[in-house]
Amino acid sequence: MKGKFIVIEGLEGAGKTTSSYIVASLLRKYGINNIICTREPGGTPLAEKLRTIITNDITQKEHITHYTELLILYAARIQLVENVIKPALMRGTWVIGDRHTLSSQAYQGGGRGINHDFILHLQQEIMGNFIPDLTLYLDVTPEISLQRTKKRGQLDRIEKESLYFFTCVRNYYLTLVQTSNNIKTVDASQSQEKVTHNIKKIIQQWLQHVHL
């Protein structure tokens, strides 16, 4: 039996890592113990190196264009999907992913202003019909996002973007979540207790329709 692919999406500081642990813990209560967690960009040796290019300020002498950023992200993504995620799913392992294609649409489409149709065409050419079985979008305001990321310490290249950038990203996310019934929104500005409760409720309802 094939595994399932669950993705956690949202702005920086939305609580994606914590939510991944919550989902994994709940799945284990349902007897699903073969679980791996992945992150994008990253998850393979090559993809982690590509992540460094995207997140680190190593390009002060050379500007990364928006299209270069998008293509690097998809290069890292396909390495992860083909070398880790798909083989895991075929083994019956469930995969919980920190970000996937929705991030590229929101960040590079909404934030960077790259044409949405171009991103979808690129996605189709590279990913084909491979999509998550379920996506949880953790919604926070850009103000909360920036406040939380600053508390974590030194900011990476993306986290240093402006409030306007993250406002555009969030607005794009809010539009995208309406395009699929497999994308569920969680108000991540609430207390951790309420966020956990809402995530558990979504997963439990979803599992009722999944053949385990």
Do the Cβ atoms of 76 and 45 come closer than 8 Å?
no
- Kind of pairing between the strands at 35-39 and 183-187: unpaired
Do the Cβ atoms of 100 and 77 come closer than 8 Å?
yes
Mention the CATH class of domain 5-207. Answer: alpha beta
Name the binding residues. 10-17
Preceding omega of 41 cis (within 30 degrees of 0)? yes
What is the model's pLDDT at position 90?
97
Do the Cβ atoms of 24 and 35 come closer than 8 Å?
yes
Q: For the chain of 212 residues, list the mean pLDDT of each consecutive stretch of 10.
A: 93 97 97 97 98 79 91 98 98 98 98 98 97 98 94 88 97 96 97 97 94 68
- Per-residue b/e over 114-128, b at no fewer than 16 CB within 10 Å? beeeebeebbeebbe
The kind and range of the H/E element at 139 are strand 134-139
- Kind of pairing between the strands at 35-39 and 94-98: parallel
Task: State the pTM of this model.
Answer: 0.95
Amino acid 116 reads: H
Name the binding residues for ATP. 10-17
What is the model's pLDDT at position 60?
62
In angstroms, how far is CA 184 from the centroid of its own chain? 13
Amino acid 23 reads: V
- The CB-side HSE value for 158 (13 A sphere, CA atoms) comes to 22
Do the Cβ atoms of 19 and 100 come closer than 8 Å?
no
Give domain limits for the chain. Answer: 5-207
Tokens 């305001």, located at residue:
141
Do the Cβ atoms of 155 and 22 come closer than 8 Å?
no
Rounded alpha-carbon distances, angstroms, from residue 41 to 45, 49, 66, 74: 11, 9, 16, 8
What is the model's pLDDT at position 58?
60
